[in-house]
Structure 1
Amino acid sequence: MTSRRIRCLLALLATLTLPTCALAAQPAHYRVVAYDTVQHPIPAEDVDRIDTLIFAFAGVADGRVTLVPAARERLQQRIALKAAHPGLKVTVSVGGWSVGGFSEAASTAAGRQRFADSAAALLVETHADGLDVDWEYPGHHESGIASSPQDRANFTALMKALRTTLDRAGKNNGKHYLLSIAAADGPFVDGIDIAAVAPSLDWFNLMTYDFCNVMTPTTCNHTGLHASELAPADARTLSRAVRQFLAAGVPPRKLVPGVAFYGREFADVDPAHHGMFQKFGHYQGGHDWPELKANLIGHNGYVRYWDAKAEAPYLWNEQTHRFVTYDDPQSIAAKGAYVKAQHLGGLMYWEQASDPDDELLKAVWQGLQ
């Protein structure tokens, strides 16, 4: 073969392989998962930045997944968004803090199947794309719900029943119904056999926020990415939660950590270290992002500090001894970089109503690009 023919052949092969190389060079897609409780319409520009909108909440009544008429009407409004945004998935979350009925429903094979059948029927009737199970938490009763030592095994069996039932329903209409769970970390996930549950799920929504609240002994970064310099060895953080689930064998792409669109305020806080990891007199309450910006960050004596190790902001009011912990665009950008570095599935946030001007949603979306 002449050198000219060889050069031509090499040029042709290079041309043929360009699409494959270009495809391989494309960045991975990361999910933006939004919990949605808002009563008003969601702006189109917001919808375009969201991959999965999780409608919250359905309830559990007599062991069945139920949705009251007013909520069903609002769900249909969300599903109607898919006509103009065909890439959007709309799923239904069942449960939430203090919502019970799970332990009882999961305690028998018949109960688990009744739960799964009712969930599948709801998805088919409403044309939703999947189910998110927010049982807070198997084996725990801190929220006032019933629990049982058998919850751990029963939760695995419930997820298997849901996966089988949703797959069967999907075969009838040619679709894959998504299945996710809202999961905490540390001691609050000991009622879940993470490795056994993972194969049934499309992903885990990790509730990596509320690390300190009315029930904890000190303040903290309530949604910190890493541990503060002052944090005790067992302090909960987003990165520690991720490591816990990875160690259990969950594929990285099935992990979607959470971002908080709200802050938590503590009053009568001991003043050392600007109130960080200090005892407090009482929990003052929560503040959505617009309120944080308008009344607290840089206002009324609240000074913003940045915890470089935790990659998290906080506020300290020297006059009133009040401490506020929250997420902002800077900490969200750090979380996006972490998700990409660890090849995780994306970011989830709680919740849509807390960011009406979509400033934090933009930060989530941009951080994952």
Structure 2
Amino acid sequence: MHIPRAVTAASAAAAAPRFAMYYDQWHTASPTKDQTAGITHVITAFASTTLFTSDPPGTYTPFTDVATLRSQFADGTKVCMAIGGWGDTAGFSVGQKDDASRKLYAKNVASTLDSLGYDCVDVDWEYPGGNGDDYKTNPNSGKTDEIANYALLLQEIKSAIGDKELSIAVPGLERDMIAFTSEQVPKINAAVDVVNVMSYDLMNRRDNQTNHHTSVKGSLNTVDKYISLGMDAAKMNLGFAFYAKWFKTQGECTQPIGCPVVALEDANGGDTGQSSAVTFKEGPTVLSSGKADTDEGGQWFWDSSTSYFWTWDTPDFIAQKFEQIVKARGLGGVMAWSLGEDSSDWTYVKALQTGLATL
């Protein structure tokens, strides 16, 4: 049977792996189209969650306009608006409450996308059901309604935006997957087009001993957990971090796993300043002194002058993630946070482009 060329081309395009790149307001960049080759989605971060709870909605003014952003990427690259982010959950909590609030929130998201010319929306409600940055002052026990209502809100948003793409950013640690139960994940999966898996920050300030923040094994465990709960692997993008993290240890640290750290957050859950992240753009010199943990698949270094334990990814481990996770689990693509945090020679964008070329 003869298949028209247009049909085969469309099928090939549909099967092409996704390459989503967050572009945040704190780390702007001016790449050329050659440097951004292969990126299929660029996601601006962030619109405030509270903009969409009122009638009429608040006004979102992106830090860069959509037309300007389009000019830095290949024709056909989708430009998406991310809502929320790590500490911003207040509007989501209001929007999810009941049928009327969900419909209003979704209508406002849709109208904002249309008015600004966005192709898609990324719901970056990272911790529905609790464990956000206010988890000690606003406990999870008061957020149990979010567990079931999260999927309902996503359904309303998808219904309101129609053919435009709906993606979500989801937590990497099982302890944070409060709304991602075996009952809820199939509903979440059915409501969305793409799932951006934050397979990084797997060590954070709630931990009391060292661990890799984005190892091969840790990332694979995260992906396997979502698949076991009913998430469609083809909808998932594996997440990559364009930054290193450091945590202050209590003493000498001679291995990457299990060194005691000082108190990284206070009694209210606040940051004690004993841990942080450093972008690859900043290029800390310790990153040239790292050690490869080939068992776990992560790079690390303990700096005796500061007692800082450093953890980050390398192009070699990125290549392993493509083989052992993206290919092995049949994922639909990759994403990274964030474009402006890459090194000046675009080492990590290039590593992802190399990996995608093998798919």
Is 1:104–2:94 an aligned residue pair? yes
Q: Please tell me the root mean square deviation across aligned C-alpha atoms, in Å.
A: 2.6
Match in the other structure for 2:216: 225
- Aligned-partner Cα distance in 1 for 2:32–2:105: 34
The structure-2 alpha-carbon separation of the partners of 1:220 and 1:179, relative to structure 1 and needing over 3 Å to count, comes to same
Tell me if structure 1 keeps the 8 A contact 2:30–2:72: no
Which among 144, 150, 158 is matched to residue 155 of structure 1? Answer: 150
**Structure 2 equivalent of residue 187 of structure 1:** 175
Counterpart amino acid of 2:210?
T
What is residue 57 of structure 1 aligned with on the other side? 46
Contact 2:200 2:214 in 1 (8 A): yes
Deviation, structure 1 residue 68: 3.5
Q: Gapped runs of 5+ residues in structure 2?
A: 265-273
Q: CA deviation at 1:344?
A: 0.4
Provide the C-alpha distance between the structure 1 equivalents of 2:284 and 2:204, rounded to a whole number of angstroms: 23
Matching residue of 2:21: 34
Correspondence for 2:199:
208
Question: TM-score normalized by structure 1?
Answer: 0.81
Once residues 42 and 27 of structure 1 are traced to their aligned partners in structure 2, the CA distance between those partners, rounded to angstroms, is 26
| 2:37 corresponds to 1:48 | yes
CA contact (8 A) 2:131 2:176 kept: no
SS in 2 for 1:104: helix
2:310 to 324, 338, 341: 324
**Equivalent residue letter for 1:343:** G
Q: What's the offset of the Cα at 1:47?
A: 2.8
Are residues 1:250 and 2:241 paired? no
Q: Distance in 2 between matches of 1:132 and 1:96?
A: 10
Give, in whole Å, the separation in 2 of the partners of 1:90 and 1:318.
44
> Given the alignment, which residue of 266, 270, 281 partners 1:290?
281
Q: Are the aligned partners of 2:253 and 2:309 in contact in 1 as well (CA < 8 Å)?
A: no
Contact in 2 for aligned 1:269/1:323 (Cα 8 Å): no
**CA displacement 1:103-135 (0-9 Å, x = unmatched):** 111101111111111111111111211110011
User: What is the count of residue pairs matched by the alignment?
Assistant: 326
Instruction: Give how far 1:141 is off.
Output: 4.5
Change (3 A) 1:269 1:352: farther
What code does the residue aligned with 2:196 have?
Answer: N
**Secondary structure class of the residue paired with 1:110:** helix
**Under a length normalisation based on structure 2, what TM-score does the superposition of the two structures give?**
0.83
Residue 152 (structure 2) pairs with residue 165 (structure 1): no
% same residue: 25
Q: 1:120 and 2:106 equivalent?
A: no
- 2:248 aligned residue (254, 262, 267): 267
Of 239, 248, 256, which aligns to 2:220?
Answer: 239
Secondary structure in 1 aligned to 2:34? helix
CA drift of 1:323 comes to: 1.2
Cα distance between partner residues in 2 of 1:28 and 1:94: 27
Asked whether the 8 Å contact 2:256–2:300 carries over to 1, the reply is no
The 1:66/1:202 distance shift into structure 2, 3 A limit, reads farther
Summarize deviations over 1:256-301 as a string: whole Å, max 9, x none: 121111011122344353353211125332111133x452123xxx
Higher helix proportion (structure 1 or 2): 1
Aligned to 2:267: none
SS of alignment partner, residue 273 of structure 1? coil
Do the aligned partners of 1:136 and 1:143 also contact (CA within 8 Å) in 2?
no
Query: In the alignment, does 2:327 pair up with 1:340?
Result: yes
Q: Distance in 1 between matches of 2:96 and 2:176?
A: 18
Separation of aligned partners in 1, 2:164 and 2:147: 24
- 2:356 aligned residue (352, 357, 368): 368
Structure 1 pair 114/87, CA: closer, same or farther in 2 (3 Å)? same
